[in-house]
Amino acid sequence: MPQADLTITIPDGVWIGDVSRSHPDATVRILAALTAESAGVGLAEITADELPAVVADIDASDSVTELEILQRSERTALLQFETTTPLLLLPVQDSGVPLEMPFTIRDGRAEWEITAPQHRLSELGTQLEEFGIPFTVNEIRRRIEPESLLTDRQLALVHAAVERGYYDTPRRCSLTELAADVGLAKSTCSETLHRAEGKIVERFLEDVDSATIESIGS
């Protein structure tokens, strides 16, 4: 399943973006958040050298209707807040994409990690644009679950091959030695590895578009 790393630029007028831009050295970690039709509730960890000023600015925001300090030290505070403008959560909610927590906000930018089907990621991009939230896609990669790609036998054999240096250059372990180590006939070991390698290569190529392959070939 695709996994995307995004940088979200929080628009002016959204309290969490304004506060973090006013205190660019502060780090805000959103630990939990949920939204309803007219409000959002969240749990945030604030780390800053000028912590009292950051907390005071949050409390002074017209968009923050409730603020409770749950824990506090010299540079870090754990806050629970309620806001009338949960703008960052709305595109996520409307696109049906689960937002992974925690995520970090610094100097008006949020770093998101999203794991979702391709069509959901596309819908999230559409929703962000409709809400006027600029974003940058830093990376898209496919998260592979080995258990769903390989059988238990294939996975164990590939792991053993890597551990013993079968894929090293030069090889530290021959096919004959690998087969003996794992207790398989050489022909069985070769066929099992070949099937596993084929599945791994096919999955890898799913993430490479045809234009990239054609440009390499030319």
Print pLDDT tens along the chain (218 aa). 678 899 999 999 999 999 999 999 999 999 999 887 678 999 999 999 999 999 999 999 999 999 999 999 999 999 999 999 888 888 988 888 888 899 999 999 999 998 888 788 889 999 999 999 999 989 877 655 656 688 989 999 999 999 999 999 999 999 999 999 999 999 999 999 999 999 888 877 765 554 444 544 54
Residues 159, 138, single domain; the answer is no
Domain C-terminal end among 94, 127, 142: 142
A 10 A CB-CB count for 157 gives 23
Q: What is the pLDDT of residue 86?
A: 86
Domain C-terminal end among 142, 158, 177: 142
Domain C-terminal end among 111, 126, 142: 142
Residues 116, 165, single domain; the answer is no
Residues 99, 186, single domain; the answer is no
Q: How far is residue 211's CA from residue 208's CA, in Å, rounded to a whole number?
A: 8
Residues 15, 62, single domain; the answer is yes
- φ and ψ at residue 150, rounded to 5 degrees: -115, 155
Q: How far is residue 128's CA from residue 136's CA, in Å, rounded to a whole number?
A: 11
Identity at 3, one-letter amino acid code: Q
Residues 74, 88, single domain; the answer is yes
Q: For residue 190, with 0-12 CB atoms within 10 Å meaning exposed, 13-18 middle and 19 or more buried, which class applies? A: middle
Residues 103, 162, single domain; the answer is no
Domain hosting 202: range is 146-217
Residues 98, 178, single domain; the answer is no
Which pTM value belongs to this model? 0.66
**Residues whose CB is less than 8 angstroms from the CB of residue 125 and which lie 6 or more positions away in sequence, other chains included:** 135, 137
Neighbouring-strand partners of residue 32: 43
Residues 113, 213, single domain; the answer is no
- Alpha-helical regions (H) of the chain: 15-22, 51-60, 89-95, 118-130, 146-149, 152-164, 175-182, 186-206, 210-217
Q: CATH code at 207? A: 1.10.10
Residues 36, 76, single domain; the answer is yes
Residues 75, 14, single domain; the answer is yes
Total count of domains within the chain:
2
Residues 121, 23, single domain; the answer is yes
Residues 50, 106, single domain; the answer is yes
Supply the DSSP string of 119-155, one letter for each residue.
Answer: HHHHHHHHHHHHTT--EEEEEEEEPP-HHHHS-HHHH
